[in-house]
Chain A
Amino acid sequence: MISDNLIPLFMIMSSFLPALMIFGLAEERKNLRRSLNLIGVVSTLAFVVYMFSGVYQGHHYETRFPLLPNIDLVLLAGPIALFFGALSSVLWFLTTVYAIGYLEGSPHRSRFFGFFSLCITATLGVAFSGNLITFLIFYEMLTLVAYPLIVHRGTEESRLAGQSYLMYTIFGGALLLLGTVWLYTLTGTLEFTPRGFIENVDEEHYFALVSIFILLITGFGVKAALVPLHGWLPLAMVAPAPVSALLHAVAVVKAGAFGIILVVYEVFGVEKAADMGLTQPLAVLAAITIIYGSVMALYQDDLKRRLAYSTVSQVSYIILGVAIVGPIATIGGVVHLVHQGVMKITLFFTAGNFAETLGIHKVSEMNGVGRRMPLTMTAFTIGALGMIGVPPIAGFISKWYLGLGALQADQEWVILILIGSSLLNAGYFLPILYRAWFLPSPEKWPHEHNFGSRETSLMLLIPPLITALLALIFGLLASSPYSPLEWVKLIASREFY
């Protein structure tokens, strides 16, 4: 019998080892590469599911490896970890299928899929980190392995986008490292603990703790694209669609948001942070980001850039939920991690389909797309409506809990933000839907590919349909026992007294 404590390590390895093997493959070994990819995906998923059921039965999965004096590398399958890990591995599975279809016949696929797998290794590492240093290590790994994906096309434009991405993220990483080490010198530990691990720090270090909080939030804020640290995200849109999907819904941006969640809940403890007066400014910052992202999205004609700004806005819902302070808002914020993930990935998959099939990159070119590609457009519509917050799609659940949470915490102003942002969301999504469904299609699409009887290749079509379906199910069956919402309620119960 394999020791329970090695399971998290096996999970990490099941994407890491295939990645290494894929790097070694010659470009034309298509089938072997696919098999390796799928073996990796499936075994990762299997490990996550195994741990899920195990944790339900009270098992404990923890891989520990000594790194420095008093500091271990820890992979721990806690509730939050499994929550984020499950999201990542499921969406990775779909993105891999999508990417195989999307990159059919394009060059450097071994490199692409190698780094693609490494991205998931890093994301799962982030998800399962048992302490801040482990988190930091995988977080920086994620920064690095995402870079070759962003510059994958090898054009001057992608080079510049990659440069800006690195400038932001390396800067953020430096702040994180400083905050982490500083924290360690005060606490002597970095192990994530429900309700935080800073109680024992003396009052006299108040200023230091505030500085650490700012450093950590700023560090994570770069990837979470908090205004004004969001500049790299719209530029990074030059990457291929599966990369954008991965960046926005699963890996990079989410890792930043996830980091903020951990800092507030498992490092400082949300109530302690609130007592120190740290959460209110964070809430304001999140609110500004929500409105700013939405307003900017209104002005983008490029579809992917519009989606990118939408991400800037939507991810801050998560942060807002965290910063409002209160069990219900927490539920709204944390569950949005998953809800935003499935909805946004749907949008990016479908945007990629439009580009790949018809050569459509701009909103203004989308007239009548609905009739040409009805299934794709249906998925897009579900994602978009979910983003706006239309019931019964998942996005509605998030916003509902956020609103309730705000009221519970006497933060009525948040309601205004939610309403305002929903209106803005509608403002930049509804015109697209209108164009696609109700306007006549042009004589000729910008760059049309023929996929026979189907609207597009099956591998491009199925993933968005599944994610759209998930977005619906997560909304419809929100109160069934295995839904993300119920899981998040369990998490929230650990974080509040």
Chain B
Amino acid sequence: MNMLFIYALTGTGLFFIGFYALIIHTNLLRKILALNIMGSGVFLVLISLAMRSGHSSPDPVSHAMVITGIVVAVSATALALVLMLKVVDITGKPDLHDQEDE
């Protein structure tokens, strides 16, 4: 089997490990990290599958998708972190389980 499929499978594995962590953890920071791991998984799959071209250079469209994806992921992570800090500021803890104490 081609080496690149091992990377692709690793990416898939990362994605689902992240998915699991996203659901299981209540701590928002971990959830955000989990989403980032999932993102990395997808990017790894895209990068490795791009190598199937057989040329010297990999598939550029797949790479372009990853670059755009990373920018988007960075933006989203920044937003998520700020929002998390705000939640911590207000409720005193980094999770979504809020006791209705207003």
A and B touch in the complex (CB under 8 A): no
